[in-house]
Chain A
Amino acid sequence: KQEVTQIPAALSVPEGENLVLNCSFTDSAIYNLQWFRQDPGKGLTSLLLIQSSQREQTSGRLNASLDKSSGRSTLYIAASQPGDSATYLCAVFTNDYKLSFGAGTTVTVRA
């Protein structure tokens, strides 16, 4: 069974600092990995999707890397803003069409 871990569970940084969020998974036979953002009381918003053949994906201030062999992905958010405060979840889609989520990292960006 795929296990997805996100460490740390919570992170607080001053505005302007770069954010580094980690995601690890136990089964490297993945189809893709997706990063989501979740605001309190809301659904999940897709941020980036990385296919298993890709090493990274970028969208604006967001960059996600994938190292399938070591079972790791990292989400970088440059020059953080208070509006980046949210919970960030990673989800791994395995070759048997199962999607497994981490518990998320809750980020607070202090103004």
Chain B
Amino acid sequence: EAGVVQSPRYKIIEKKQPVAFWCNPISGHNTLYWYRQNLGQGPELLIRYENEEAVDDSQLPKDRFSAERLKGVDSTLKIQPAELGDSAVYLCASKVPWGGGELFFGEGSRLTVL
């Protein structure tokens, strides 16, 4: 069974440019998370979806970040415009709905903003 798939793996952009990351979760995993991880730190939650609904987006910087999960499967995270401080690894994770099931992560998308 395929794991969580993310793309692109690496992205280098100039500041003020837009960027988008894509995530395909494990089949049947209706809960999807986007995390941001800075070097030497643990992941920090950006947004959590239960199916199509964003149930926790309290830590998403909504002035420049947006996310969508239109059909309750794939998800896209967008940054527009990007700032230098957005350089980080963006991780997608999925699990079975609600409850305390095991969380599975993708390989991450490493963003460098110049």
Contact = CB atoms under 8 A, between A and B. Distances in A.
Interface of A: 4, 31-32, 34, 36, 41-46, 49, 51-52, 89, 91, 93, 97-99, 101-104
B-side interface size class: 20 to 34
Given A51-B100, A89-B42, A97-B98, 15 more contacts: A31-B100, A34-B102, A34-B103, A36-B105, A42-B108, A43-B107, A43-B108, A44-B43, A91-B42, A91-B103, A97-B48, A97-B55, A99-B45, A101-B44, A104-B40
A90 to B, nearest CB: 9
A103 B100 contact: no
B77 to A, nearest CB: 15
B110 A46 contact: no
Contacts, number: 54
B103 A43 contact: no
Q: Is the interface of A mostly helix, strand, loop or mixed?
A: strand
A99 B107 contact: no
A93 B106 CA distance: 19
Contacts of A91: 42, 103
B102 A43 contact: no
Contact of B105 (A32, A45, A49, A52): A45
B33 interface: yes
A42 B3 CA distance: 14
Interface string B30-44: 000100000011111
A102 B44 CA distance: 10
27 contacts: A34-B103, A41-B110, A42-B108, A43-B6, A43-B106, A43-B107, A44-B91, A44-B93, A45-B105, A46-B104, A46-B105, A49-B102, A51-B100, A52-B100, A89-B43, A97-B55, A97-B56, A98-B56, A99-B45, A99-B103, A101-B42, A101-B43, A101-B44, A102-B42, A103-B41, A104-B40, A104-B42
